[in-house]
Amino acid sequence: MAGYGRGLGLVNIRYASLTDPGRRRSENQDSVLACQNGDVHLFAVADGVGGLQDGAHASRTAVTILREAFDSLPATGRMRHVAKAIEAANTAIGESRNHGSKPVSGSTIVVMLLEPEGASFAHVGDSRAYRVSASGVASLTEDHSLVAEQVRAGIITREQARTSRNRNVVTRSLGVADDVDIDTTRVLPALPGDAFVLCSDGLTDVVTDDEIGQIVRSHAVEEEAVAALVQLANDRGGPDNISVVLARVGIDDDA
């Protein structure tokens, strides 16, 4: 699935999204969201947790509840509103499991709220957010995963984490417990020329941070950039579902 949009106002927000099953999975358990209301945008990537039954249901539930919450976004405290929607998604996914209709399901989530004041983020799991700017690419989230904890503790290196057999073991996800711990960021400046990337681990398991930055900077058209990122992941085996949302900040006369 692909999507494209252009926000209007004093600053243009151009965005595109793409989700792909990859080369080794018969089902795509990822879901993406890209929507706008005036000068406010909401973007998300949800990844049905690998190895669990019906992760697709879980990821779809998460983005559906976020989309509904966006329709009633308040004038202030918007990120608090988004965080409450993530909590509601956790509850809804968990209730499906407890009632037996979806016996085991879970999902990661990474969300960006882009407002005139800047960008803020919320995430659970190992789906990531990046900022790509003239100074390079910077990760804006920390994975909630076993290997990420091992890297932070100095047990393994980042290079070892990329090939570890435990690299897809998440330590937080939606729907697996009654309560969920959501990481949120303060509002970050969103300057003309900045690009923000949300993605599932189907991309980051096989494409490096520097490669993400290089591809985003080398493709002025957002649809082409997300397609190139997905293609590179597939060229490297496409071992998992791949989802990317790209939002770029421009100015009114930016073509």
Task: Kindly report, residue by residue over 113-142, the tens digit of the pLDDT.
Answer: 999 999 999 999 999 999 999 889 999 999
User: Which distant-in-sequence residues (6+ apart) come within 8 Å of 182 by Cβ?
Assistant: 83, 86, 87, 122, 123, 124
For the full predicted model, state whether its pTM sits above 0.95.
Answer: no
Total count of domains within the chain = 1
Contact 63, 83 (CB under 8 A): no
Q: The CATH number of the domain where 163 resides is what?
A: 3.60.40.10
Mean pLDDT of the chain: 89
| Look-up of token digits 């499991």 | 97
Dihedral-angle region of residue 238 (phi above 0 means left; psi in -120 to 50 means alpha; beta otherwise): left
Task: Identify the pLDDT of residue 54.
Answer: 83
> Which domain, by its residues, includes 11?
2-251
- For residue 91, report the phi and psi dihedrals to the nearest 5 degrees: -65, -45
